[in-house]
């Protein structure tokens, strides 16, 4: 499938996301011949640049973002010829006439059809204002019969159930639901999409993929970095809003959902919503046993962070999905900053055999695992016990590995490449739907309330480089290293 000719307007064009992710990903799509023949990017932001000045600036950003790869200078220049810039104040409704004129001019000069994607790569407080101004100037609806409009909204989508509902209502007043693309870059990761293929294209996993054979599931995203220069945003968000409500809950949905009857956006998104709706709500008196929050030492002295901040930089939680397939199977979800390694993975812990035949055989339920490594070293590993050569019957845990880098000529596209291309194609499968977002906020909201009331009580501290606060042990996760002596 190739995308039709179109124009992409990026609001927040001089920002970090545009230079670090959007333009480098669009450049990669250009190199791989996946962009439509007639395709232009119009960057819009307040700073005063000419087209050429903007191109020079972004050329450096693209080189920096792709520093591990060889960049073909001629191709990069070809790509940059598709990039244009408009200096404009997106907070000022009266400036949208200028935007409209520039769009018309580009459509005319570059022979582009009336097909436009707006990308809101701006601070979240602009998510209401920009679409409202687009509506006021008539830019939200096509002018020609074969035209269309789409809008891509970055996370965070709301900060609570109420604000997410308000934003959804506002956007749906301006665009149709199928024109709204709520991005969650985790869904653009190759390894995340592969969860669906692994589960639904193989007969061997499905019979085991339920409460009868699975002991527990762990879904984690650990990071070594702290908040860096994002203190202003992060201190108001925290790990629960920043990572769990979106990225990790989407991973959970892919792991737990039923198979859709066809691989189309709506049936898939229907199954995701069903998972979120079946999540067991937390009762206030259970929260402190089922959720552990932490903050790394030194966080309060980070730039733009309150000196008495109670914002969590670590969360571990035990969730349950109250449905036929998953009844009483714990899902352990955890994430944190300043942890020992950068890694995201899903570990499916299978139940152990009902009876142990071999001395020292693992009965802890941690020997049979399927490990889906999302990043880095993308891989899928199945762990099981085998006999050690020689006398006796000593069981040893071994692993069967598939590594993405072993696929010849494999190319793992950046998440944004996949998601941008999907939006150009009009495929919303890997974008979040409003009902799913609201359902996820329904679980998260009471926790945020509870923490607000508790303040610093039950906020546990950990040293940077440690594996989160010790109190996480209270959740009863299967230990990483098996306690049996033979594994």
Footprint of ligand BG6 (CB under 6 A): 221, 223, 242, 344
Q: Report, in Å, the least distance between residue 420 CB and ligand BG6.
A: 15
Query: Quick one: 122 or 366, whose CB is closer to ligand BG6?
Result: 122
Distance CA 408, CA 150 (A): 36
Q: Report, in Å, the least distance between residue 352 CB and ligand BG6.
A: 32
Q: Report, in Å, the least distance between residue 56 CB and ligand BG6.
A: 28
Give the closest residue to 128 by CA, choosing from 182, 169, 89.
169
77 marked as binding residue: no
The C-alpha angle 341, 338, 307, rounded to 5 degrees, equals 175
The Cβ of residue 66 has, within 10 Å, a number of other Cβ atoms equal to 17
Residue 247 annotated among the catalytic residues of the structure: yes
Give the tokens for residue 177: 């639901």
Distance CA 395, CA 413 (A): 40
Distances (CA, A) of 208 to 55, 324, 325, 327, 348: 53, 14, 10, 14, 11
Residue nearest ligand BG6, CB atom distance: 242
Q: Report, in Å, the least distance between residue 411 CB and ligand BG6.
A: 18
Q: Is 167 helix (H, G, I), strand (E, B) or coil?
A: helix
CB of 386 within 8 A of CB of 255?
Answer: no
Report how far Cα 290 is from the mean position of its chain's Cα atoms: 24
155 marked as binding residue: yes
Give the tokens for residue 414: 């950046």
Query: Quick one: 253 or 321, whose CB is closer to ligand BG6?
Result: 253
Give the closest residue to 74 by CA, choosing from 37, 27, 110.
27
Q: What are phi and psi of 291, to 5 degrees?
A: -135, 130
Q: Report, in Å, the least distance between residue 24 CB and ligand BG6.
A: 14
Query: Quick one: 298 or 455, whose CB is closer to ligand BG6?
Result: 298
Q: What are phi and psi of 349, to 5 degrees?
A: -95, 115
Q: Report, in Å, the least distance between residue 402 CB and ligand BG6.
A: 21
46 marked as binding residue: yes
337 marked as binding residue: yes
The Cβ of residue 222 has, within 10 Å, a number of other Cβ atoms equal to 19
Query: Quick one: 362 or 437, whose CB is closer to ligand BG6?
Result: 437
In DSSP terms, 10 is beta-bridged to 43, 119
CB of 217 within 8 A of CB of 349?
Answer: yes
DSSP for 298-349 reads: TGGGSTT--TT----SEEEEEE-B-STTTTT--EEEEEESS-S--EEEEEEE
Catalytic residue among 247, 285, 289, 450, which? 247
264 marked as binding residue: no
Q: Report, in Å, the least distance between residue 344 CB and ligand BG6.
A: 6
Query: Quick one: 61 or 247, whose CB is closer to ligand BG6?
Result: 247
Query: Quick one: 223 or 288, whose CB is closer to ligand BG6?
Result: 223
242 marked as binding residue: yes
Any idea which residue has 């992710």 for tokens? 21
Residue numbering of the annotated binding site for substrate: 185, 189, 223, 242, 337, 342
Residue numbering of the annotated binding site for NADP(+): 46, 155
Residue numbering of the annotated binding site: 46, 155, 185, 189, 223, 242, 337, 342
Catalytic residue numbers read 247
């Amino acid at each position: 499938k190739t995308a039709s000719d179109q124009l992409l307007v990026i609001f927040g064009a001089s920002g970090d996301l545009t230079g670090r992710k959007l333009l480098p990903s669009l450049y990669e799509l250009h190199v791989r011949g996946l962009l439509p023949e007639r395709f232009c990017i119009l960057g819009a932001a307040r700073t005063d640049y000419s087209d050429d000045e903007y191109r020079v600036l972004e050329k450096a950003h693209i080189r920096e973002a792709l520093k591990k790869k060889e960049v073909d200078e001629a191709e990069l220049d070809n790509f940059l010829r598709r990039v244009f810039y408009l200096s404009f104040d997106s907070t000022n409704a009266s400036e949208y006439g200028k935007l409209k004129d520039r769009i018309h001019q580009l459509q005319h000069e570059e022979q582009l059809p009336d097909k436009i994607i707006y990308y809101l790569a701006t601070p979240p407080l602009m998510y209401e204002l920009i679409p409202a101004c687009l509506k006021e100037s008539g830019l939200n609806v096509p002018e020609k019969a074969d035209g269309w409009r789409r809008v891509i909204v970055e996370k965070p989508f709301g900060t609570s159930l109420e604000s997410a509902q308000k934003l959804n209502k506002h956007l749906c007043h301006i665009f149709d639901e199928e024109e709204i693309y709520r991005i969650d870059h985790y869904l653009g990761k190759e390894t995340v999409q592969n969860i669906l293929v692994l589960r639904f294209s193989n007969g061997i996993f499905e019979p085991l993929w339920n409460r009868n054979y699975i002991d527990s599931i762990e879904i984690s995203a650990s990071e070594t970095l702290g908040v860096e220069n994002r203190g202003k945003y992060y201190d108001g968000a925290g790990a629960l809003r920043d990572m769990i409500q979106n990225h990790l809950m989407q991973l959970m949905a892919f792991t737990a959902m039923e198979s859709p009857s066809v691989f189309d956006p709506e049936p898939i998104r229907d199954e995701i919503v069903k998972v979120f709706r079946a999540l067991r709500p937390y009762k206030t008196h259970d929260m402190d046993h089922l959720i552990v929050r932490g903050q790394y030492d030194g966080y309060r002295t980070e730039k733009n962070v309150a000196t008495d901040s109670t914002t969590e930089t670590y969360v571990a939680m035990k969730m349950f999905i109250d449905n036929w397939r998953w009844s009483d199977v714990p899902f352990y979800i955890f994430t944190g900053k300043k942890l020992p390694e950068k890694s995201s993975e899903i570990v499916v812990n299978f139940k152990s055999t009902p009876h142990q035949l071999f001395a020292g055989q693992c009965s802890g339920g941690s020997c049979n695992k399927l490990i889906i490594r999302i990043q880095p070293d993308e891989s899928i590993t199945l762990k099981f016990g085998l006999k050690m050569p020689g006398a006796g019957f000593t069981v040893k845990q071994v692993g069967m590995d598939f590594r993405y880098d072993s696929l010849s000529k494999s190319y793992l596209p950046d998440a944004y490449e996949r998601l941008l291309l999907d939006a150009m194609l009009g495929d919303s499968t890997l974008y979040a739907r409003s009902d799913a977002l609201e359902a996820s906020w329904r679980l998260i909201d009471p926790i945020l309330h509870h923490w607000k009331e508790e303040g610093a009580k039950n906020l546990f501290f950990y040293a940077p480089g440690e594996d989160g606060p010790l109190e996480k042990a209270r959740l009863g996760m299967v230990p990483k290293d098996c306690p049996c002596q033979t594994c």
